[in-house]
Structure 1
Amino acid sequence: MRWKLKPNPNPQIISKLAQELSIDNTLAKLLVQRGLENYNQAKAFFRPNLNDLHNPFLMKDMDLAVDRIEKAILKGENILVYGDYDVDGTTAVSLLSSYLRKIYPNIATYIPDRYNEGYGISFQGIDFAEDNAVSLIIALDCGIKAIDKVTYAKEKGIDFIICDHHRPGNKIPEAVAVLDPKRSDCGYPFKELCGCGVGFKLIQALATERNQTIGDLVEYLDLVATAIAADIVPIIGENRILAYFGLQVINTNPRNGIKALLQQVKKKQFTITDVVFIIAPRINAAGRIKHGNYAVELLTEMDLDTAIKFAAEIEKNNNDRKELDKKITKEALQQIEDTNEQQNYSTVVYAKNWHKGVIGIVASRLIETYYRPTLVFTKSGNKLAASARSVKGFDVYDALEQCAEFIEQFGGHKYAAGLTLEEKNYQNFKAKFEEVVKNTLPDELREPEISIDAEISLLEVTPKFYRILKQLEPFGPQNMKPVFLANGLRDNGYGKKVGVDETHLKLNIFEGSNQKTFNAIGFNMGNKHSLIKNGKPFKAVFNIDENHWNGNTSLQLLLKDLKEE
C-alpha cells in the first residue's frame, strides 16, 4: 500500500485553534484538515444543531412541489410514492409515505422490481399508477434522467414530482417539480444530500406549511441516517447534522422496523459503521433477493411483533445474499484467471446466470483482489445489466460516459454506477472501457493508498486524546476516522499470529525507550509477522479504538499497515 501523509495546514492557524479550544496541536491539526479554522466553526462541528439545517425552500422547485402536494390533498387525489429498491430509495419511500399518511389517507407506495423493471422509474410503474387512478407520483432517489417516462405519464394525465440527488443529464424531465441539489440551476447551499435526504427536505417544507417545527420531524431521522450511511455520501454539513441526530434516534427510540433488525444483533450502542455493516445490508437484502417492498413494509410497520416477523424473513434473505456473493465472487475471480486478465487496468466480467441482486457487492469484492475499476455483468431480460465500482480518485461515471456509444442507459456517481447494454455490444464495450481506464487511470491510483492524517508519538495517545477524537464522529467520507503514523516501534516479544488460519496479527507495542505498551491488532496482516520478530524496529499506520474485555476498557491500535523502519 502507498502511505500518503496529508499536507500540513498553516501552523499559525493550528496553534491559534489549539489555544481557543484548549486542545493539543495534533487534535487542532485534524480539525483544520477538515476545514475548521476557528472557534465558531469547531463549535458548529462538535455541537450539531438541527436549527442549522438550511431552509428547504432554498431548493429549486420546492415551492412548486409543496403547492402540488397540497393541491392533491385538497382535491382528494391518489398519490403514489415511488422509489428505488436500494437502501436510499426504500428509506426515502418509507419516510415520505409515513409522513404523508399522518395527514392524508390516499397514499400508496411503489418499488420497482429489480429484475423485471430495473433501476428507476419504469413504464410498468406508471401503468400501475394509471390502473389505480393515481394522478400524482412522487419519485425518490431516481427520476432525474427519466425524460421519456415523465412524458409518458403526462400523456396519461399523471403529474410527477422528482426528488433525486444523482447528476442530471443535459435535459431535465418536464415534471411539475424537480428537486435535485445537483441541478446546475439550483442554488441550494448543500449539494451532497442522499435521496432520502432530499425526501427529508420535502417533508421539512411540508411541515413548515403546517406550523410544525424541526422537533416534530426528529422521529424520521433514523431513516435518513441509515440512508446517509448506506449511500456513502460525505458526512459533512447538513449530512453530519442529520446523521448525528439520526444515530441518537437509532440508539434511543428507533422505529419498529429498525428496532426489530437491531434485536438480531447483540450490541448496545450503534455507530455509523454499525449502520453500514448491520442495518443497511439487511434492508438491501430485501430488494436483492426478494423485493424492495419488503423493506418498505418493515420500515413503516407500526406493530412490533409484525416487524419482528418481517425482520426474521429479511435476515434469511441476508444470509442467502451472503452465500450468493461468496459463490459469484469465486466464479468471477476464476474467470479473470481463465482469460489471463490479471494484469488489465480494469475488471469487466460477465455470466448470464449471476444473480442481479448481488453483482454490486461482487464488484466491491473483486476490487479487494484486483484493485482497479470493476464492472460485473449479468443477463437481465434480453439485455445485460452491470454494477460498476471504482477505486479511490477515479471517476467511473466519467469513464462510462466515454463508452456511451455501446451503452443503452447508465446512471450513478463517481464511485458507483449501474448500466445496461445490448449483448452484442458487450465485447466492444469491454475493450473500450479497458482502453479508457488505461489512458486515464494514473499509475499511483493502481495500488491502494492509506491517507495519513498525522504523525504522532504514542505518548500522545491518552484517554483525553481519545475522548476528543470520539467527538469527531459520525465518521464517513470527508470526515474519515483519523489515521496516524508512528515510527520507532517494537513488539515486546509477545506478538503472534491469531485467528483460525493465523490470518491476523496481535501485538504489544512500545515506542523508543518509553516502556508503556499498547495492544494492537492487525486484521488480515498475519503475513507481516516477520517484520516485527526479534525486536526489529518498524513503523505503523493505525486508528485508535477502545477494547472492551472482561469488564475492562483500554485503548488499542487498529493497525492498517506495517513497514520496516
Structure 2
Amino acid sequence: MRWTLKPKPNNEIVENLVKSLGVERTVASLLVQRGIETFEQARKFFRPSLKDLHDPFLMKDMEKAVARIEKALDNEENILVFGDYDVDGTTSVALMSSFLKSFSPYVATYIPDRYEEGYGVSYQGIDFAADNDISLIIALDCGIKAVEKVAYAKEKGIDFIICDHHRPGGEIPSAVAVLDPKRDDCEYPYKELCGCGVGFKLIQALAAGKGLKTENLLPYLDLVATAIGADIVPITGENRILAYHGLHVINVAPRAGFKAVLKQLKKETISITDVVFILAPRINAAGRMKHGQHAVNLLTEEDEDTAVQFAAEIENFNSDRRDTDKSITAEALAQIEDLKEQERHTTVVYQENWHKGVIGIVASRLTETYYRPTLVFTKSGEKLAASARSVKGFDVYDALEACKEHIEQFGGHKYAAGLTLLASEYENFKLKFEEVVSETIDKNLLTPEISIDAEIDLKEITPKFYRILKQFAPFGPGNMSPVFMTRNLRDTGYGKCVGADESHLKCQLKQEGESPVFNVIGFGLGKKLDIIARNKVFKAAYAIDENHYNGNVSLQLRLKDISE
C-alpha cells in the first residue's frame, strides 16, 4: 500500500474556520480540504438544503423536454419510460413513471433485456412502442449515443427525450430534447449528476409548471440517493443535497419496496455505505440474473404485502448472483495465475460461458486483487461483451477510446465502462489495450493508495470529535470518510488474528505517553500480526467508527494499514 498524506491546507483559512465555527483545528483542516473555507459554506455542507439545488431550466433543452411532456399529457398520448437495467436505470424509470402516473394513466415502462437486447436504447424497445401506439419515449440513464436508434424511432413517428449523464459521442441524437450535463454545449453548473439525478431535474422542472415545490418531491429522493450511491458518482454539490435528503426518506418514510428489503435484512437505519453494499446489489441482481423490470416492480409497488413478495424474489436473485459471482471470480483468478497476467499493466480475461450479468462485479474483484485496469469478457450472441473497471486516477474510458478501431460499441465513465467487439478482434484489442495503458498510466497508480487526511494523536479522538465527523456524511467520492494516521503506537498485548480463516487483525492500541486505549479491527490484515507483536512500535492508517456490542456503543479504529 502507498500511503499519501494530503498537503496541509492554508493555515490562515483554517484558523478563521476554527474561530467562526468553534471547532478543533483538525475538523477545520478536514473542511478546508473539501473546499469549505467560510462559515456560509460550512453551513451549507452540514445542513444541505433543497433550496440550494440549481434551477433545472439551466440545463440545455429542459424547456423543450417540459413542453413536449406537457403536450403528451394534455393530449393523452401514450408515454414509454425507458431505462437501463442497472440500479441507476431502474430507479430512474421508477422515479419518472411514478411521477407521470400521478397525472396520466397512459404511462408504460420498459427495461431492455440484458441478454436479448444489451445495454441502452434498443430496436426491440422502439418496436414495442410502435406496436402499442406510443408516441413519446423518455430514455433515462442511456441514449446519449443512440443516434441511429433515435432516427429509427422518428421514422416510426415516435419522439424521444433523453436524460443521460454519460459522455456524448461525436454526434448528439436528433431527439426532441437531450438532457445531459456532460454535453459540451450545456452550461448546467453541476456536471456530476447520475442518470436518476438528471431524471429528478426533469420532474423538478415539470413540477414547477404544475405549481408544485421541490419539497413536494421529497418522496422520490430515496430513489435518487440509491442511484447516487450505486453509481459511485461524487457526493458533492447537488449530489450531496439529494443523497442527504434521500437517505433521510429511506430511514424515516421508505417506500414499500425499500421497507420490505430492509425488514427482510433486519436493518432499521442505513447509511450510504449500506445503500452501496446492501440495497444496490439487490436491485441490480434482478437485471443481472432475470430481468430489470422486477426491480422497477419492487420500487413502484405501493401495497406492502405485495412488496414483501417482490423483495423475497429479489433476495433469491441476489443469492444466485452471489454464487455465480463467486465461482466466476475463482475461475478468472485461476486464469490470471496461469497467464501470470499480474506482471502486465492490464488484466484481461475471457471465458465464453461466464454469466454476462456478473462480469462487472468480477472485474471489480479482480481490480481489487491485482490493482490493474481490468476487462472481463464473455460471449454475447455472435460477439464478445466486456465490463471494464479501473484503478484510482486512471481513465479507462479514454483508454478504450484509443482502442476503438477494434471495438464495435462502448460507453461508460472514467472508472467503469462496457464494450462489445467481434471475436476476431479480441487478441488485437487485448494487445492494443495493454499498449495504451502501459504508455499512458502513471506507474504509481498500479499500487493501491491510502489517502490520509491528517496525522493526529489518539487523545484527539473524543466522542465530541466523532459526533462532528459523523456530520460530514454522506460519504463517497469527493467526500470520503476521513482517514487518519498516528505514529508511536503499541499493542497492549491483546493482538490476535480472528475470523473463520484468521485473516483479520484484532488488537488494542495506545500511543506512547498519555493516551487513551482503543479497540481496533483490521479486515484482511491478519498477515501483519508480526508488525505489532512483541511490544513493537508502529504507525497506523485508520478510520474511526462505532462498535455496537451487547447494547454498548464505543469508538473503535478500523485499520486501513499498519507499518513499522
TM bracket, shorter-chain basis: over 0.9
1:1-80 equivalence runs, <5 A: 1-80=1-80
Aligned residue number for residue 276 of structure 2: 276
Q: Name which of structure 1's ranges 263-272 and 155-164 shifts more when overlaid on structure 2.
A: 263-272
Question: Which residue pairs with 2:404 in the alignment?
Answer: 404
The aligned amino acid for 1:402 is A
Q: Distance between the aligned counterparts of 1:267 and 1:482, measured in 2?
A: 25
* Matched letter for residue 209 of structure 1: G
Could you say which residue in structure 1 is the equivalent of 2:98? 98
1:64-213 aligned at under 5 Å gives the runs 64-213=64-213
More displaced stretch, 357-366 vs 436-445? 436-445
In structure 1, distance between residues paired with 2:368 and 2:59: 39
The DSSP-based 3-state class of the residue aligned with 1:559 is strand
Q: What residue number does 1:313 align with?
A: 313
Report if the CA contact (8 A) 2:459-2:515 is conserved.
Answer: no
| Cα displacement string for residues 49-92 of structure 1 (whole angstroms, at most 9, x for unaligned residues) | 11111111111100000000011111111100000000000000
Structure 2 partner of 1:492: 492
Question: In the TM superposition, what is the alpha-carbon distance from 1:23 to its structure 2 partner?
Answer: 0.5
Is 290-299 or 260-269 further displaced after alignment?
A: 260-269
Aligned to 1:475: 475
TM-score under structure 2 length normalisation: 0.99
- Once the two structures are TM-superposed, the CA of residue 222 in structure 1 deviates from its matched residue by 0.4
Aligned equivalent of 1:441 = 441
User: In structure 2, what is the Cα distance between the partners aligned to 1:445 and 1:242?
Assistant: 31
The one-letter amino acid paired with 1:128 is F
CA-to-aligned-CA distance 1:117-143 (integer Å, 9 cap, x gap): 000001111001000010000000000
Aligned-pair CA distance for 1:342? 2.6
- The answer to whether the 8 Å contact 2:139/2:162 transfers is yes
1:266-305 alignment runs, 5 A limit:
266-305=266-305
| C-alpha RMSD of matched pairs (Å) | 0.7
- SS class of match (2:112): coil
CA contact (8 A) 2:262 2:268 kept: no
* CA distance in structure 2 between the partners assigned to 1:425 and 1:284 by the alignment: 30
Is 170-179 or 257-266 further displaced after alignment?
257-266
Deviates more, 1:258-267 or 1:13-22: 258-267
Alignment of 1:507 with 2:498, yes or no, is no
Tell me how far apart the structure 1 counterparts of residues 3 and 274 of structure 2 sit (CA, whole Å): 27
CA contact (8 A) 2:458 2:515 kept: no
Q: Secondary structure at the match of 2:334?
A: helix
Amino acid in structure 2 at the alignment position of 1:309:
Q
Give the equivalent residue in structure 1 for 2:263. Answer: 263
Pairs aligned (count): 564
Say whether the 8 Å CA contact 2:452–2:484 is kept in structure 1: yes
Cα offset, 1:501, TM superposition: 1.4
Q: Please give the secondary structure, in 2, of the residue aligned with 1:554.
A: strand
Could you tell me which amino acid in structure 1 is paired with residue 192 of structure 2? E
- Distance in 1 separating the partners of 2:295 and 2:267: 22
Q: Which moved more, 1:31-40 or 1:493-502?
A: 493-502
* 1:331-357 per-position Cα deviation (integer Å, ceiling 9, x unaligned): 111111222323111011111100000
Distance between the aligned counterparts of 1:335 and 1:466, measured in 2? 45
Task: Give yes or no for contact 2:408–2:422 (8 Å, CA) kept in 1.
Answer: yes
Distance 1:70 1:516 in 2: 63
For 2:136, what is the secondary structure of its paired residue? Answer: strand
**Counterpart amino acid of residue 221 in structure 2:** L
Q: Which runs of 5+ in 1 are unaligned?
A: none
Q: Which residue of 2 aligns with 1:226?
A: 226
Inter-partner Cα distance in structure 2 for 1:242 and 1:99 = 17
Paired position in structure 2 for 1:361: 361
Q: Does 1:517 align with 2:517?
A: yes
Aligned mates of 1:542, 1:283 — CA distance in 2: 31
* 1:515 to partner: Cα distance: 4.5
Tell me how far apart the structure 1 counterparts of residues 530 and 335 of structure 2 sit (CA, whole Å): 33
Aligned residue for 1:342, secondary structure, equals helix
SS at match of 1:127: helix
| 3-state DSSP of counterpart to 2:130 | helix
Matched, 1:419 2:404: no
For 1:561, the aligned partner's letter is: D
Q: Which residue of 1 aligns with 2:465?
A: 465
Q: For 2:343, what is the secondary structure of its paired residue?
A: coil
Q: What is residue 340 of structure 1 aligned with on the other side?
A: 340
Confirm whether residue 560 of structure 1 aligns to residue 560 of structure 2. Answer: yes
Query: Which whole-Å deviations, capped at 9, do the CAs of 1:267-296 have from their partners, x for residues lacking one?
Result: 221000001011000000000000000000
In the alignment, the residues of structure 2 paired with residue 498 and residue 340 of structure 1 have an alpha-carbon distance, to the nearest angstrom, of: 31
The letter of the residue matching 2:110 is Y
Question: Secondary structure of the equivalent of 2:516?
Answer: strand
What is the match of residue 428 of structure 2? 428
Verify: 1:324 aligned to 2:324, yes or no: yes
Deviations 1:169-212 (A, max 9, x none): 11100000000011111111111000000000000000000000
In structure 2, how many angstroms separate the alpha carbons of the residues matched to 1:516 and 1:550? Answer: 22
Q: Which amino acid aligns with 1:165?
A: H
Kindly, what percent of the aligned residue pairs are identical?
69
Q: Which residue of 2 aligns with 1:540?
A: 540
Given residue 142 of structure 2, which amino acid in structure 1 is its aligned partner? C
**2:534 alignment partner, SS class:** helix
